[in-house]
């Protein structure tokens, strides 16, 4: 047993401890808060639409919280594990309760949770709002491909599995999407837009994208939908508004008009559920 | 074997001896009949343990095949159809046939009666029925692989309408439903049994707030089972009727609602997450306290945190459905976020238990610390998923896969800790500590190497449940790391099997090898037929500790005296 050194006066210890806290915790935190826009990406994609940018910032702030809290808890665990190794046959003080401490780690997390919830609400309301738009695109998912129709025009894009369709949409404009499914559940997911939504049979899901940059982005079905789920691809081509108008005009011929009519017809009828017959049919008491 | 840490054994006062005077000799069936006709909770629990560990190994083999397939962008180890069967059965085996039955069938079945000083479960024959339903359910579900169409292939969540008879016509799907119904009833019966046992068979002095945390968690788990599993059972019957009897509950063309299946499934499925987690929280809590030589820090806070988690878990099911576009996002978001609070309390209590303790790094303790760290990672990433906008872009990607694998691998760490901690009590023999520590490091490091690349893959847009990714070959290196992690986990399992073989009846354990605290360590290893020859006075939640270390009672912060006084009347 070694005699512990005489501890310094309480006030001095507390002052010194506080100085240390300020140096190692408060300063980096303040620096981080001031440089808000240069936060690391924490692995996520900044996003190519206005909505996806807000989601990205939300992601960054959630990540700051996760790193700070997670790091703090990991340090506590590490300290306990290193400091309190068993060294002999001592029985430590059997302390079981510390009400002020327990209350602290109950109340502080509640406050953090409500902060996270408030930030969530702001971004969520922005992302799920559907402002009035001039451009509408109907997206229909089926096993195992996608069909994009443009109401009021003859344009439509269709493709399945690795012959993926390329949807065209204008940049700098709110574009409204109606998402349906003809058969089972599918997931409409565009990574660059930081967004996914289920395509549900019998339901029309609506959302709005405001693309900020032109470019071609990859999209893929994310909800298991059967055999070729892994290959149910599509692309999103964001073009300038004049390019978009020109692209729509290329469909102004009788053949495309007939095809577009046929395509539009199925799109609306299948929301009232026509499931293509395949495999065995339902039989009583099989 | 006398434990050197123990004081000389003193007989308790005569009025404390409640069981066992006429059970010194028990003449039950022996040989194969002992295993076919038991009603003793310890024998049934051992059957559960062996069966569920076999299920863990089967599910693990599926996982290794899945990871091998994903090691290259155009993997050809299995076909697309086989891949769908494999991940469906991997999830089903791990969730339905390993994690749940291992927690409440194996360890709770054996430990809860002993922890509360009961001679057996309240309904021993119902207990036996539970096991046989579970075994037949497991065999039924797995037998899908031997049918012409293969096993079920619609994911472990069986989303309608993919799971109807048009899209999945095979017999494997029906066997999946049947197997799940059987194991579901097995769980319900175990839940009934645990509730009755804990409410009615506690020994004199064992008040509710003197029950060990593991028993508390099992009580809450049992209540959750009774609330959630009947809903799943009803849903499965509806699904079967849709498939075979011409009903249209989940199909649009008959006026049904496909999303209804998701509501039913997740109303069971989210409480199920805590049905799986709470028992392992309990195990880790006990282990951390024993090997820190301290009482559970914030015992009552721990109990209330468990109750809060259970209550909240019944109101969060639709956070699995944020991207359906048909649920109220803010409600389910705040309910889900709030679960972080009681879970955080638990984590801080676990650290508080270790704080200023005397930590003995046995294999069980290492597993429990590994559990806390891994669960912390899984919990923090879960907070992202409770926020709908963040869920929109991570839903159904590998980020979600990584999140719940962090959580369930944490539970596997705790489960292994439970086996190393309670194994000596159940069998009377210790496992080899050196092999155990090797197993821990492979399992712990393997888990992190396995999940971290998956978080990155999910953020880079890799959807789950895809067998090939020819469009994005840049995902290969991360997938390779994840596969490497899976191999490390596989090796850790081999270490475990080797350890059981090497240590077979080699190191006798003695009654209380860990200087533990709760009642099960007061009886012999293995316990006699009706568990106890005598009982110590029960004056706190750790009667064995109080008996062995009467001068070291629990104290509250700032208090002069012990939390529970010697003079306090016993209930």
Q: Write out pLDDT tens, residues B444-478.
A: 999 999 999 999 999 999 999 999 999 999 999 99
**Which domain range does residue A224 map to?**
135-270
Angle between helix axes B299-313 and B213-244 (nearest 10 degrees) is 10
Residue A285: list chain B partners with CB under 8 A.
244-245
Whether B389 and A124 lie within 8 Å, measured CB to CB: yes
Whether B295 and A281 lie within 8 Å, measured CB to CB: no
Residues A56 and A163 in one domain: no
Alpha carbon of B7: minimum distance to chain A alpha carbons (Å): 13
Phi/psi at A188 (5° precision): -85, 110
Residues A223 and A155 in one domain: yes
- Positive or negative: CA dihedral B98, B104, B106, B111: positive
DSSP B239-304: HHHHHHS---SS-GGGT--HHHHHHHHHHHHHHHHHHHHHHHHHHHHHHHHHHHTSPPTTHHHHHH
Residue A105: list chain B partners with CB under 8 A.
344-345, 348
Let me know: does B199 contact B285? Beta carbons within 8 Å.
no
Whether B323 and A110 lie within 8 Å, measured CB to CB: no
In angstroms, rounded to a whole number, what is the distance separating the alpha carbons of residues B465 and B63? 12
Whether A230 and B469 lie within 8 Å, measured CB to CB: yes
Statement: residue A272 has pLDDT above 50: no
Question: Poorest-confidence range of A116-120, A193-197, A263-267, B404-408?
Answer: A263-267
A47 in the Ramachandran plot: left (φ > 0), alpha (ψ -120 to 50) or beta? left
Comparing CB atoms, the residue among B345, B358, B460 nearest residue A105 is B345
C-alpha distances out from residue B286 to B365, B418, B441, Å:
10, 9, 21
Residue B341: list chain A partners with CB under 8 A.
106, 109-110, 113
pLDDT recorded at residue A251 = 87
Residues A124 and A139 in one domain: no
Tell me how many residue pairs between chain A and chain B have CB atoms under 8 A apart: 304
Residue A253 lies in a domain: yes
C-alpha distances out from residue A128 to B333, B352, B389, Å:
14, 42, 9
Which tokens is B478 given?
A: 């991360």
pLDDT recorded at residue A256 = 79
Residue A78: list chain B partners with CB under 8 A.
none
Phi/psi at A207 (5° precision): -155, 170
Residue A251 lies in a domain: yes
pLDDT recorded at residue B256 = 87
In angstroms, rounded to a whole number, what is the distance separating the alpha carbons of residues B250 and B246? 11
Alpha carbon of B117: minimum distance to chain A alpha carbons (Å): 23
Phi/psi at A268 (5° precision): -80, -30
Residue A214 lies in a domain: yes
Angle formed at CA B508 by CA B503 and CA B509, multiple of 5 degrees:
105
Residue A2 lies in a domain: no
Let me know: does B250 contact B164? Beta carbons within 8 Å.
yes
A250-275 residues labelled b (16+ CB within 10 A) or e (exposed) = ebeeeebeeebeebbeebeebbebeb
Whether A70 and B468 lie within 8 Å, measured CB to CB: no
Alpha carbon of A247: minimum distance to chain B alpha carbons (Å): 26
Question: Poorest-confidence range of A183-192, A277-286, B31-40, B87-96?
Answer: A277-286
Residues A150 and A57 in one domain: no
pLDDT recorded at residue A141 = 93
Residues A167 and A230 in one domain: yes
pLDDT recorded at residue B64 = 96
pLDDT recorded at residue A154 = 86
Q: Which residue of B has its CA nearest to A163?
A: B471
Let me know: does A165 contact A148? Beta carbons within 8 Å.
yes
User: Of B191, B186, B178, whose CA–CA distance to B224 is shortest?
Assistant: B191
Whether residue A144 is preceded by a cis peptide bond, meaning omega within 30 degrees of 0, is yes
Which tokens is B34 given?
A: 């002992």
Residues A146 and A195 in one domain: yes
Which CATH number fits the domain that encloses residue A229?
Answer: 2.60.40.420
User: Of A187, A224, A141, A276, whose CA–CA distance to B81 is shortest?
Assistant: A224
Which tokens is B503 given?
A: 């240590």
Q: Which residue of A has its CA nearest to B358?
A: A86
Residues A42 and A146 in one domain: no
Residue B388: list chain A partners with CB under 8 A.
120, 124
Alpha carbon of B28: minimum distance to chain A alpha carbons (Å): 42
Residue B299: list chain A partners with CB under 8 A.
96-97
Matching residue, tokens 């081999």 = B494
pTM of the predicted model as reported, rounded to 2 decimal places: 0.89
Average pLDDT in chain A: 83
Q: Which of A83, A92, A97 to mutate to test the interface with B (most CBs of B within 10 A)?
A: A97
Statement: residue A222 has pLDDT above 80: yes
Residue A108 lies in a domain: yes
Alpha carbon of B338: minimum distance to chain A alpha carbons (Å): 7
Q: Which of A224, A226, A273 to mutate to test the interface with B (most CBs of B within 10 A)?
A: A224
Residues A124 and A146 in one domain: no
Whether A96 and B338 lie within 8 Å, measured CB to CB: no
Let me know: does B526 contact B425? Beta carbons within 8 Å.
yes
pLDDT recorded at residue B1 = 37
Taken in order of first residue, the domains within chain B and their CATH numbers are: 47-548 (1.20.210.10)
pLDDT recorded at residue B8 = 40
Confidence of residue A274 (pLDDT cuts 50, 70, 90): very low
Residues A168 and A109 in one domain: no
Confidence of residue A20 (pLDDT cuts 50, 70, 90): low
* Alpha helices in B116-253, H assignment, sequence order: 124-142, 171-200, 213-244
pLDDT recorded at residue B26 = 61
Residue A177 lies in a domain: yes
Whether B360 and A86 lie within 8 Å, measured CB to CB: yes
Judged by DSSP in three states, B49 sits in helix
Residues of chain B falling short of pLDDT 70: 1-27, 557-571
Quote ipTM for the complex: 0.89
Q: Which residue of A has its CA nearest to B460?
A: A44
Whether B341 and A194 lie within 8 Å, measured CB to CB: no
Domain total for chain A?
Answer: 2
Residues A114 and A18 in one domain: yes
Residue A26 lies in a domain: yes
Q: Which residue of A has its CA nearest to B302?
A: A102
Residues A140 and A262 in one domain: yes
Whether residue B526 is preceded by a cis peptide bond, meaning omega within 30 degrees of 0, is yes
Judged by DSSP in three states, B134 sits in helix
Let me know: does A70 contact B270? Beta carbons within 8 Å.
no
Statement: residue A37 has pLDDT above 70: no
Which tokens is A168 given?
A: 């065209």
Helix (H) or strand (E) holding B24: none
Let me know: does A137 contact A177? Beta carbons within 8 Å.
yes
User: Of B270, B260, B175, whose CA–CA distance to B224 is shortest?
Assistant: B270
Task: Tell me the per-residue pLDDT of A80-121, one tens digit each, with 9 for 90 and over.
Answer: 999 999 988 888 989 889 999 999 999 999 999 999 999 999
B199-225 residues labelled b (16+ CB within 10 A) or e (exposed) = eebbbebbeeebbbbbbbbbbbbbbbb
């Amino acid at each position: 047993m070694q005699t512990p050194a005489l501890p310094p006066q309480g006030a001095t210890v507390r002052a010194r401890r506080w100085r240390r806290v300020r140096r190692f915790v408060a300063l980096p935190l303040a620096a981080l808060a001031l440089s808000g826009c240069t936060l690391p990406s924490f692995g996520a994609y900044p996003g190519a639409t206005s909505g996806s940018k807000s989601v990205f910032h939300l992601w960054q702030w959630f990540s700051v919280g996760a790193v700070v809290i997670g790091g703090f808890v990991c340090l506590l665990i590490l300290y306990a594990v290193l400091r309190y190794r068993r060294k002999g046959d001592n029985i430590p003080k059997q302390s079981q309760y510390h009400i002020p401490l327990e209350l602290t780690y109950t109340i502080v997390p509640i406050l953090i949770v409500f902060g996270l919830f408030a930030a969530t609400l702001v971004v969520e309301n922005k992302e799920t709002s559907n402002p009035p738009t001039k451009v509408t695109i109907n997206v229909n998912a089926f096993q195992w491909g996608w069909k994009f129709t443009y109401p009021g025009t003859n344009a439509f894009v269709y493709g399945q599995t690795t012959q993926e369709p390329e949807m065209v949409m204008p940049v700098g404009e709110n574009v409204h999407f109606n998402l349906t499914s003809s058969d089972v559940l599918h997931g409409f997911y565009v990574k660059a837009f930081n967004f996914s939504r289920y395509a549900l049979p019998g339901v029309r899901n609506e959302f709005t994208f405001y693309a900020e940059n032109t470019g071609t982005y990859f999209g893929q079905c994310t909800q298991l939908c059967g055999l070729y789920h892994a290959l149910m691809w599509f692309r999103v081509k964001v073009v300038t508004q004049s390019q978009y108008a020109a692209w729509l005009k290329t469909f102004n011929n009788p053949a495309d008009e007939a095809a577009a009519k046929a395509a539009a017809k199925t799109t609306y009828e299948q929301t009232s559920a026509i499931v293509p017959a395949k495999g065995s049919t339902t039989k009583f008491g099989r | 074997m006398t434990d050197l840490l123990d004081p000389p054994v003193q007989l308790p006062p005569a009025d404390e001896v409640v069981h066992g005077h006429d059970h010194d000799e028990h003449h039950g069936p022996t040989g194969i009949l002992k295993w076919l006709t038991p009603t003793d909770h310890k024998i049934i629990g051992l059957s559960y343990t062996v069966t569920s560990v076999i299920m863990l190994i089967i599910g693990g083999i599926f996982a290794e095949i899945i990871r091998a397939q994903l090691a290259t962008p155009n993997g050809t180890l299995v076909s697309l159809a086989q891949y769908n069967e494999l991940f469906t059965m991997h999830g089903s085996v791990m969730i339905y046939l390993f994690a749940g039955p291992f927690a409440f069938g194996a360890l709770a079945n054996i430990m809860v009666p002993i922890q509360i000083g009961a001679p057996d479960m309240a309904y021993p024959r119902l207990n036996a029925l539970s096991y046989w339903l579970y075994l037949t359910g497991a065999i039924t579900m797995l037998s899908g692989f031997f049918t012409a169409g293969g096993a079920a292939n619609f994911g472990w969540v069986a989303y309608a309408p993919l799971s109807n008879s048009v899209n999945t016509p095979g017999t494997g799907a029906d066997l999946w439903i049947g197997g799940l119904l059987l194991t579901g009833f097995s769980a319900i019966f175990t839940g009934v049994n645990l509730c009755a046992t804990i409410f009615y068979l506690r020994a004199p002095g064992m008040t509710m707030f003197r029950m060990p945390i593991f028993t508390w968690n099992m009580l809450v788990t049992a209540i959750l089972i009774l609330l959630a599993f009947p809903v799943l059972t009803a849903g499965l019957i509806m699904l079967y009727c849709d498939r075979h009897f011409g009903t249209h509950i989940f199909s649009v063309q008959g006026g049904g609602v496909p999303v209804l299946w998701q509501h039913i499934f997740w109303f069971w499925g989210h409480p199920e997450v805590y049905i799986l987690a709470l028992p392992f929280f309990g195990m880790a809590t006990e282990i951390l306290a024993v090997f820190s030589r301290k009482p559970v820090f914030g015992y009552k806070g721990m109990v209330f945190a468990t109750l809060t988690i259970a209550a909240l878990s019944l109101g969060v099911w639709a956070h699995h459905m944020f991207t359906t576009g048909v649920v109220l996002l803010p409600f389910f978001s705040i309910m889900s976020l709030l679960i972080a609070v009681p879970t955080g309390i638990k984590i801080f209590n676990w650290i508080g238990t270790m704080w200023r303790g005397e930590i003995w790094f046995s294999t069980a303790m290492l597993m429990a610390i590994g559990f806390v760290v891994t669960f912390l990672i899984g919990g923090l990433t879960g907070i992202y998923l409770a926020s709908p906008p963040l869920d929109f872009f991570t839903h159904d990607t590998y980020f979600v896969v990584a999140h719940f694998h962090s959580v369930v691998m944490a539970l596997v760490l705790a489960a292994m800790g439970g086996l190393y901690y309670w194994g000596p009590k159940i069998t009377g023999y210790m496992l080899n500590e050196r092999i155990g520590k090797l197993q821990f490091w492979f399992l712990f490091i393997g888990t992190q190497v396995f999940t971290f690349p998956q978080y990155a893959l999910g953020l880079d847009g890799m959807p789950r449940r895809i067998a090939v990714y020819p469009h994005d070959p840049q995902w290969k290196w991360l997938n390779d790391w994840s596969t490497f992690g899976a191999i490390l986990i596989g090796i850790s399992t081999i270490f475990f099997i080797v350890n059981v073989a090497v240590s077979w009846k080699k190191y006798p354990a003695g009654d209380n090898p860990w200087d533990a605290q709760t009642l099960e360590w007061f009886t012999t290893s293995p316990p006699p037929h009706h568990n106890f020859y005598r009982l110590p006075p029960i004056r706190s939640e750790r009667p064995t500790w109080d008996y062995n270390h009467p001068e070291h009672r629990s104290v509250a912060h700032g208090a002069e005296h012990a939390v529970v006084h010697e003079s306090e009347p016993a209930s």
